Amino acid sequence: MTSSISKNWPAPAKLNLFLHITGQRDNGYHDLQTLFQFIDYCDYLDFQTNLSGKITLHSELSKVVADKDNLILQAAKSLQNHAGITQGADIWLEKLLPMGGGLGGGSSDAATTLVALNKLWNIHYHNNVLAEIGLKLGADVPVFIHGLASFAEGLGEQLKPVSPAEKWYLVLVPDAHVSTQAIFQSPNLTRDTPKLSLAHLMNQDWSNDCEKLVVAHYPQVANALSWLVEYAPSRMTGTGACVFGEFEQEQQALAVLAKLPSNMTGFVAKGMNRSPLLARLTQA
C-alpha cells in the first residue's frame, strides 16, 4: 500500500554573503564566521510513502553519485532509524542546482528530505532534532532545516537568524568542480581572520577567505569573477565554484545576464531570508 505523491518540495540554494576562516582545530576542522542567505533557485523533490520500509531514489543523479554517498538516501535512512519507524518512501529528484558549486545543493536536498519525511511519516520531530540528525550529514544541513537566513559560527552549526537585504543576484556557474576538502586542506588557505562581532560584520565590506585560493587554482572561476566584478560587487560563495554579483533591481541583473559571454552560464535569483521550504511545509 502506498500513499499519493506529495509534490514540489523545494530545496533552495544558499549563498555565503561572507565567509571568514577564523581558526583550525586540533582535529583538522575549521572555525568560521559566515552569513547564509537563501535564493529562489531550487532543486525539487517529490515523495510517496510506502509500508514496505524500502527507500528508493528515482533520479539521474544515481548515475554520477553512488547510493552510499547520496545525501538524500542518507537523510531518509537516518530519520527512519532515529525514529524507529517501518515506513519507507519513493523519492523523485529534479536536479537544477549545480553540483560542487558552493550553493549547498546536496545539503539542501538532505534537509528537504528530513523536513518532508518528518511530516509525511507523521514523526513530529522538532526542527532542533532534525538539525542534529542533519549535522551528521553535513555542516550546512541545519541552516536549510531551520529555513532562516543566519549568521553562523563554530563549524557552521551555531546559527543566529539575521535579516540582510534581500537583493537580486546574478550567479555564474563556472565549468569547474571545486573540492571543498582540498581547499580546507591547502596550506595556503587563510585561517587567521580575526573573529568579529555580528554588528561589526554587518557593517563592513564582505569577502570570502577561500576566494583567493580558488581563483589561483581554477582559471574558470577567476575568469567568471573578473567578468562579473565589472558590473557589480561580486564574490565567490562557499568554496566555489559559483560566483555572484549583487543588484538592487531584478532588471539590472537580467540586463547583465543578457551580456554574458557564450562560454559562461548563469542565472538570476532573488535573495530570501525565509526559505521557500517553510512555505511548502505549511501547505502540507
User: Model confidence over 42-91: pLDDT tens digits?
Assistant: 999 999 999 999 999 999 888 888 888 899 999 999 999 999 999 999 99
130-143 average pLDDT score: 94
- Vertex 125: Cα angle to 11 and 66 (nearest 5): 45
**What residues are annotated to the active site?**
14, 140
Q: How far is CA 129 from the centre of its chain?
A: 19
Q: Tell me the whole-structure pTM to 2 decimals.
A: 0.95
Question: Which of 36, 21, 33 has its CA nearest to residue 186?
Answer: 21
pLDDT digits (tens, 9 = 90+) for 153-181: 998 889 999 999 999 999 999 999 898 88
pLDDT for residue 1 = 60
> How many Cα atoms within 13 Å fall on the side-chain side of residue 267?
14
Question: Which of 263, 207, 271, 267 has its CA nearest to residue 242?
Answer: 267
Pairing, β 88-94 against β 55-58: parallel
Count CB-CB contacts under 10 A for residue 58. Answer: 12
Q: What domains can you pick out in the chain, each with its CATH number?
A: 6-162 (3.30.230.10), 168-272 (3.30.70.890)
* Phi, psi (degrees; rounded to nearest 5) at 240: 85, 180
